[in-house]
Amino acid sequence: MRTLKLAWVFFRICLMNEAAYRANFFIQVFESALGMVTAIGSVFIVFDQTDQLAGWHRSELISLLGIYFIILGSINLMVAPSLTKFMEDIVEGKLDFTITKPRDSQLLVSIQEFRIWKLLDIVMGLIVLFVGIGERATETNWLDASLFLASLATAGAIIYSFWIILATFAFWFIRVENILQIFWAMYIAGRWPVTIYPAWLKFILTAIVPIAFAVTVPAEAMAGKMETQTLLIAVGLAMALMYGSRKFWKFGIRFYSGASA
């Protein structure tokens, strides 16, 4: 509960700051709408030529796009801006103000910055998700919905932990932003199910940059395609990454010398 209250404080501060620049709202609406229309348009172009793509029907790919934008919006809402600021604070020697506070340092750096208008991506993603569900020939049952929610929560844990691991490298390397660009380049591939890619790329998107567990697995759950074994692997990976990222963070923070160094 304290964590939620603290996150709400940071959220309100960022909301007041961004409310002063309302033009950003309209810019974000345009960017989000353009990205959404382009992505959906590509799906319709593909299905003008075929009835299915690697076993996926059009409605299922539309739902997958919705999940893609929900995860994208969640990353850009809090995770990316907070951890980007954390990396900047290391370079500028400002991290001292965070680690000396009587709260967990990893928690503080993870919720310190919000990009409020990125909520639009989440909202639009939800709309597209439900449009895809509405197009399905069969109704989504409670089991599929439950598996979807579980896999979506697992996806959030996996992506957050992965970002924490990447950001922690900033304790040793200055230009970690370049590594993050690799993540974004791989994430674009998440607009399509990983099953359509060649084996080498599928391996990268599953075992190295876990985009498959962030987007494809929740989409499989919603479509009733996911096997129980897949969910167990996803949960196991999430737990391993959360534990490993926490240990790696505690190890890395020992190397921070501060502004006085």
pLDDT in tens, 188-238: 999 999 999 999 999 999 989 999 999 999 999 998 888 889 999 999 999
Residues 159/215, Cβ–Cβ less than 8 Å: no
Q: Where along the chain do its domains lie?
A: 2-7+21-253
Arithmetic mean of pLDDT, 39-61: 89
For residue 224, the tally of other CB atoms under 10 A from its CB is 15
User: For residue 155, what pLDDT is reported?
Assistant: 95
Q: For residue 66, what pLDDT band results from cuts at 50, 70 and 90?
A: very high
Taking a C-beta distance cutoff of 8 angstroms, is the pair 55, 62 a contact? no
Classify residue 258 as left (phi > 0), alpha (psi -120 to 50) or beta: left
Residue 259's pLDDT band, with cuts at 50, 70 and 90, is low
- pLDDT at position 23 is 77
The predicted-structure confidence for 130-160, as pLDDT tens digits, reads as follows 999 888 767 778 888 899 999 999 999 999 9
